[in-house]
Amino acid sequence: MTLKEIGEFGFIKKISRGCLIRKENIVRAIGDDAAAFKTDPDQLTLITTDLLVERIHFSRSTIAGYDLGYKALAVNLSDIAAMGGAAREAFISIAIPEDCPLDYLEDIYDGIKNLAAKFNVNILGGDTTNSRIDLIINIVVHGTVAEKELLRRDAARSGDMIFTTGFLGDSKAGLHLILNDIAADDESLEMLIKAHLLPEPHILEGRFLAQQPGIHAAIDTSDGLSSDLRHIVEQSNVGARLYADKIPVSENLKKFCTRFDFDSVKYALSGGEDYTLLCTASPETADKIASEFQKEFKRPLFPIGEITDTRQMELIWPNGRIRSFSPSGWDHFKEQNK
């Protein structure tokens, strides 16, 4: 058996065995966006970590230091957001190759610090070392959430509405432009590149959702809608039905897809790194939550489908055609077929 055959999630399953020695006070362990454990009678501590490796996740020749630092912290904050938490403290570890200019490193920390300040996060420490060739950044973020407000992947129920807090697919389009060295010759292409390089973690949206009584499950869209939704479906033992014409696609992505001849729904389904939140809400509360969200953030909470009891994921096209779909997003060890 090879890593390629079992994939990232098969590997995580394998190494998860034997990890939990003391089960008391652990609310979420391996398998959610962040770990959650009790440190206080009604407060949970959240911990998440993310590793960015040069030539795997980024290329120094195509990302500015500032953007790299900003994104490295943003992806961690997004995981805290997916648990409904407030981010509190961060630890930054970095392995630096000899040829990396000091200016570039200072820019990385400027990007991290600016985003940290925006969400009231302290940077409390980390580790620095050297590296042979590649720059490697690891960030750990600590957050908190009241136990009754915790959002988790395994709490979706049949009949729930499925929502996303923002557009999907923009980041993948931005990555396409960067990888193919296509100049951003208009504002819409610039916005797509920005969506890829400077994703906005939905911390405030996560806090808002956590305080709504009808919200059941949540996850952030890091690997792609189809892959991320699968985690909710599998962990909650349910199914999901999405409506192709309801998946929110930005005007920028529509223009991009027309120009480069791509299908925007496929882009939205398989495109990772959007860092919106996916959540499910009971049908009785869904309308009210969506209208409160609109009032609070001046933009919609997009309904994209519903949770079913079929254990399948299906996509309904406007002509009524139903297609089952499987995850087509990012898996770090499997061959990519994007």
Let me know: does 172 contact 265? Beta carbons within 8 Å. Answer: no
| Under rule CB under 5 A, residue 149 binds Mg ion | no
CB of 203: closest distance to Mg ion in angstroms? 13
Query: Which range, of 79-87, 158-166, 250-258, 266-274, touches Mg ion by CB under 5 A?
Result: 79-87
CB of 288: closest distance to Mg ion in angstroms? 27
Distance CA 83, CA 214 (A): 15
Residue for token digits 């008391």? 24
| Under rule CB under 5 A, residue 221 binds Mg ion | no
Q: Which of 67, 79, 200, 273 binds Mg ion (CB under 5 A)?
A: 79
CB of 225: closest distance to Mg ion in angstroms? 13
Residue for token digits 């915790």? 150
Identity at 226, one-letter amino acid code: S
- At 242 the three-state DSSP class reads strand
CB of 304: closest distance to Mg ion in angstroms? 18
| 26-28/35-38 β-pairing | antiparallel
Query: Which range, of 72-80, 127-135, 162-170, 274-282, touches Mg ion by CB under 5 A?
Result: 72-80
Distance CA 54, CA 260 (A): 28
Residues 6+ apart with CB under 8 A from 258: none
In the region spanning residues 10 to 49, those forming contacts with Mg ion, defined by CB under 5 A, are 33
Identity at 89, one-letter amino acid code: E
| Under rule CB under 5 A, residue 222 binds Mg ion | yes
Nearer of residues 202 and 264 to Mg ion, judged by Cβ: 202
Q: Which of 107, 220, 274, 331 binds Mg ion (CB under 5 A)?
A: 220
CB of 142: closest distance to Mg ion in angstroms? 16
CB of 82: closest distance to Mg ion in angstroms? 5
Distance CA 303, CA 169 (A): 16
| Under rule CB under 5 A, residue 273 binds Mg ion | no
Helix then strand then coil, in percent of the chain rounded to 5, is 40, 25, 35
Give the interface size with Mg ion as a residue count (CB under 5 A). 4
Task: Give the residues lining the site for Mg ion (CB under 5 A).
Answer: 33, 79, 220, 222
